[in-house]
Amino acid sequence: MTGGIHMEKTFIIKNLDCAHCGGKIEDALNRLDGVDSAVLNFPMRKLRISGNIDEKLISLINSTASAIETGVEIVPEAEAVSCGHCHDSEDSHENGLPILITGTIFFAAAIAADAVFGILPLTLALFVVSYLILGGNVLKNTVRNVKALKIFDENTLMTVATIGAFAIGEYAEAVGVMLFFRIGELFENFAVARSRKAITETAKLKVDEADVLSDGEFIRKPSEEIKVGDILRIKNGERIAADGIVESGESRLDVSALNGEPVPVTVRKGDSVMSGSINLADVFTLRVTSTAEESMISKIAKAVEDASANKPHIDRFISRFAKIYTPIVIVAAVLTAVIPSLITGQWTKWIHSALTFLVISCPCALVLSVPLAYFSAIGAASKLGILFKGGNSVEALGKVKAVAFDKTGTLTDGSFTVTAVESFGKLSNDELLKICGSCEQISSHPVAVSITSRCREFDLNLDEPQQSRELAGRGVSAVLSGSEILCGNRRMMDENDVRLPREVPDVAGSVVYIAVDGIAEGMIVVSDSVKKTAAKTVAALKKMKLTTALLTGDKSENARITAELLGIEHAFGELTPHDKLHEIEALRSRYGETMFIGDGINDGPVLAGADVSGAMQTGSDLAIEAADMVFMNPEPESVVRAKKIADRAVLVSYQNIAFALAIKAVVLVMGLLGHPNMWLAVIADSGTAMLLILNSIRLLNTEKLRNIE
């Protein structure tokens, strides 16, 4: 056991070009003492380790990784970036091109010599030279692997297959296999590097420097030195370095990098702005509310990178499948070489078939393309302001059959206004507002905020309650000037035996009743408006054959009216957090996997209990923490985009599996039928990997997702 400090640390993994080998490294590291968890993000070449990390453990991690894949080096992310190591993979691809060209020239010369002169010593020498040039790295790795007793490695199997081809006189096939293997490897690495670049575009949105007010003048400072409370000057065309509130000035911002919306947003004094936005017009100043490290754009970048920690179930299945696939194919190769040969005596023919098996014995195409599909989906979603917290969230959303919404702040603006105040007895309307506002000061619920805002508009001085407590799904109880005050919904009144006047009519909006020492004194009606894309969102979901539901703590009548207005099929009102969870379970049992979208502090249990959940970025911290995805765009249309991305990711992953297995099956069957072709096998294997990678990274195209209709 190591004695290091328990922490989570990110490393860059260098010289790793095999996704299957990466999976082996991840498994081995998870078995080490001192490592709680190790998660490898192969497309990003990043390794996140949680455990008792010290120099001794880092050394053990490196030795374990290099024992599995020779030449692999694992370095802390900070060191890798400062030394420029993060680009080693791309550099190695460029260095491999001259080798490929040189080897191809010698191979072409060998084929020409064979056609003109036949197999002479010179012809054979040309084949051998071209083989050594093209397969030199493979042969070198094979020697190291054999010393380490690793016989199921891709390099070892490729070496055995090609040397076997030489042994039976198939010189052109032997060199051709190495040629197409190297071509496939170069194209594969290029595609992965391209996808990595596209997925990590968000990280480029971080700002290195900003103008900070210091001693009466603005000076340029690194963004890492920005503190909460600093005043920043944002010039035309500049990207904002930290979240804040406009201190002075007015301008228009491009926020498309954050929420995918192309329409600029106008901001004035007092408005909140997020880092990553671009100033399109006049100079303005803002007061920083979070450091650059804690800013929204940093959270987005971190969310995209961290999403690999939560892998989809299909990814885990592929990892388990990969462990048994190679041994099974090798056993099949041995049986193919021996059994038919003993029966027919045609050893050369059946050994040739067996060598074809070895060429396609590595499952890299599957191991790489399936997780890349989900990773690409996460990257695409981030461009549209949707933050998935893992590939498992994407996969779960792809299986959803029903979508349930909270009402306030999700389908409605949440910008409540007091529309009516009615006294039941001796208290005036202003007195009711003051009592209720004084008690509601502790709550951040939109209804409470609207009441306290109305008190300020009327210049009503609020008192500080002696005691106060917020009851989720009900309201607020407090002690004010010695009296017990209840401010809440009808359920709260019923539970506390407060009798309401029979003549209280049903009204549209949220009703807050006020009771003083057990006596109902009046009510305040608060209403909000439906968001502009809410109806369009519901219609799009129904077009996708999804069932929709509304779950709210608001009155049942309000729930019914809102549901009818938006076309939602099921509406449930006056629900406690426990009631919402119960309704989610009922929807799941009736329709299948169910998603819930909410943003309130009391939505935590149902967000955690749904099959998959989403929260608005404007919602409570608890909701954002509990949700599986966060929508940066406050409009609910993001739910439709997220669902479409998830559906595409699931479809692409299954396409990749089906296509890869079908191609490998065709090659295997051809070999079993006595029609071996090593050229076809390596082209099929490398070509399949390339096609599957391209199929996965096409998920990065988000243009068709902007219109949800």
Instruction: Give the residue numbers marked as catalytic.
Output: 406
Q: Six-digit token pair at 278?
A: 């671009």
Distance between CA atoms of residues 178 and 106, nearest Å: 13
Alpha helices in 118-202 (DSSP H): 121-147, 154-167, 171-199
* Positive or negative: CA dihedral 119, 120, 122, 125: positive
β-strand partners of 457? none
Q: What angle do CA 71, 77, 83 make, to 5 degrees?
A: 75
Chain mean position to CA 177? 37
Apex 637 CA angle, 636 and 642, nearest 5: 105
The closest alpha carbon to 244, from 288, 295, 299, belongs to 288
**Residues with Cβ < 8 Å from 2, sequence gap 6 or more?**
33, 34, 51, 52, 53, 54, 56, 57, 60
E-strand stretches of 300-456: 386-388, 402-405, 417-423
The torsion region of residue 103 among left (phi > 0), alpha (psi -120 to 50) and beta comes to alpha
Name the phi and psi angles at 447, rounded to 5.
Answer: -65, -45
Which sign, positive or negative, has the C-alpha torsion 343, 347, 349, 350? positive
CB 595 within 8 A of CB 610: yes
Token pair belonging to 587: 């929807």
Task: Give the whole-angstrom CA distance, residue 338 versus residue 342.
Answer: 6
CA distances from 21 to 141, 160, 259, 553 (A): 13, 19, 37, 51
SS3 6: strand
Q: What is the dihedral of CA 417, 422, 428, 434, to 10 degrees?
A: -30
Between CA 591 and CA 402 the distance in angstroms is 6
Burial of 79 (0-12, 13-18, 19+ CB in 10 A): exposed
- What is the strand order of the sheet 483-488 is part of? 417-423, 519-527, 510-516, 483-488, 475-480, 467-471
Cα–Cα distance measured from residue 252 to residue 238, given in angstroms and rounded to the nearest whole number = 12
